[in-house]
Amino acid sequence: MTNEKSSLGEKIKRLRKTRKLTQKMLADGICSQSVLSRIENDLEIPNVLVLKKICVRLGITMDQMMFAEFNEIHRMQRFFEKVNNALIHQDYEQMNALLRNAQIANQIYLDTDMQLYFYYLGTVQFFIDQNPDRAINSLKHSLLLTYTENKKSNISPIEIQILGCLGRIYADTNQLKNAEHYLSLSIQLTMDLPKEHANFELSKIFYHHSRFLFLQADFLGTIDSALKGVQWAISKMSYYYVEELLQITGAAYEKLQEYERAQFMYEKAQSVQMFAKFENGVYLS
């Protein structure tokens, strides 16, 4: 057994194989396959732009690639994947059990992992503990690890989800000014996100926003935001939150006394239940 750290090339190769990617698949649109082969064999050092793109495709951060060992990266990723899977299913009890039983906070040293931890913890504190003040504190702490209000580039989907979650909590606790700020910001950042970083989970940002507008009796705004959310989900080949978005669209049409359109949306929402079984490999029945 050796205590030597893995080289950069070794980590890229092992992570690629763990993700079941060929060299051609990983290199596509980033660099040539021959260059990737040289990188994996430590014959060439990638420039920052190439390494960043490789990290995005492998689903890890630059910090993890540079400072963490493969086994550590893999173990932490598998843990957070379990927690995120519970979040996608809105199984907050399972999230709570995973976070509280694992004592994972003592094993985290990367800011990006700590950000995930406090995001998930804040979610549990709101939906399970029903403690919005603690939830807001956890979510704000999570944001402070990587995000500032003046940040203009390299916004991550997780940062946007945290902003949206803050907006949801502020809306539910009748802190309307803060709710509008965070929800509008999360929508704008979602729309501005580069295509390669966008994912289906951001569909719920549109739901949080349209739900807030509905509670403010802005029914036209509700419809506009919710239908944009439906379009977003479909563009990602996903049904995530589509049922909820169609339901709230129907409710808004009903408030506007456009009953035929309302009924159409309700029927569409029901039909979504028949198709929304798998989301990016995640079962969502």
The CATH number of whichever domain residue 35 belongs to comes to 1.10.260.40
pLDDT band for 277, please (50, 70, 90 cuts): low
Whichever domain contains 204, its CATH number is 1.25.40.10
* pLDDT for the residue numbered 151: 66
Same domain assignment for residues 99 and 78 = yes
Same domain assignment for residues 83 and 128 = yes
In one-letter notation, the amino acid at residue 14 is R
Same domain assignment for residues 82 and 196 = no
Separation between Cα atoms, residue 189 and residue 207, nearest integer Å = 15
Task: Write the pLDDT tens digit of every residue in 102-141.
Answer: 677 777 767 778 899 999 999 999 999 999 999 999 999 9
Report whether pLDDT(189) > 50.
yes
Same domain assignment for residues 79 and 55 = no
- Give the number of domains in the chain: 3
* pLDDT for the residue numbered 78: 86
Separation between Cα atoms, residue 147 and residue 95, nearest integer Å = 24
* pLDDT for the residue numbered 152: 62
Task: Write the pLDDT tens digit of every residue in 51-95.
Answer: 999 988 887 878 778 877 777 777 888 899 999 999 999 999 999
* pLDDT for the residue numbered 279: 45
Which of 67, 89, 122 is a domain's end point?
Answer: 67
Same domain assignment for residues 203 and 272 = yes
Same domain assignment for residues 16 and 126 = no
Same domain assignment for residues 260 and 270 = yes
Same domain assignment for residues 263 and 249 = yes
Separation between Cα atoms, residue 67 and residue 60, nearest integer Å = 12
Which of 109, 128, 145 is a domain's end point?
Answer: 145
Query: For the residues 163-187, what does the mean pLDDT come to?
Result: 97
Which of 49, 67, 85 is a domain's end point?
Answer: 67
Return the percentage of the chain with pLDDT > 90, whole number: 66
Same domain assignment for residues 91 and 210 = no
Same domain assignment for residues 177 and 273 = yes
| 158: containing domain | 147-285
Same domain assignment for residues 134 and 246 = no
* pLDDT for the residue numbered 276: 59
Same domain assignment for residues 25 and 47 = yes
Are the C-beta atoms of residues 186 and 170 closer than 8 Å to each other? no
Please give the radius of gyration of the chain, using alpha carbons only, rounded to the nearest integer.
21
* pLDDT for the residue numbered 283: 44
> In degrees rounded to 5, what are phi and psi of residue 283?
-75, 130
Task: Write the pLDDT tens digit of every residue in 4-61.
Answer: 577 899 989 988 887 778 999 899 999 999 999 999 999 999 999 999 999 888 878 7
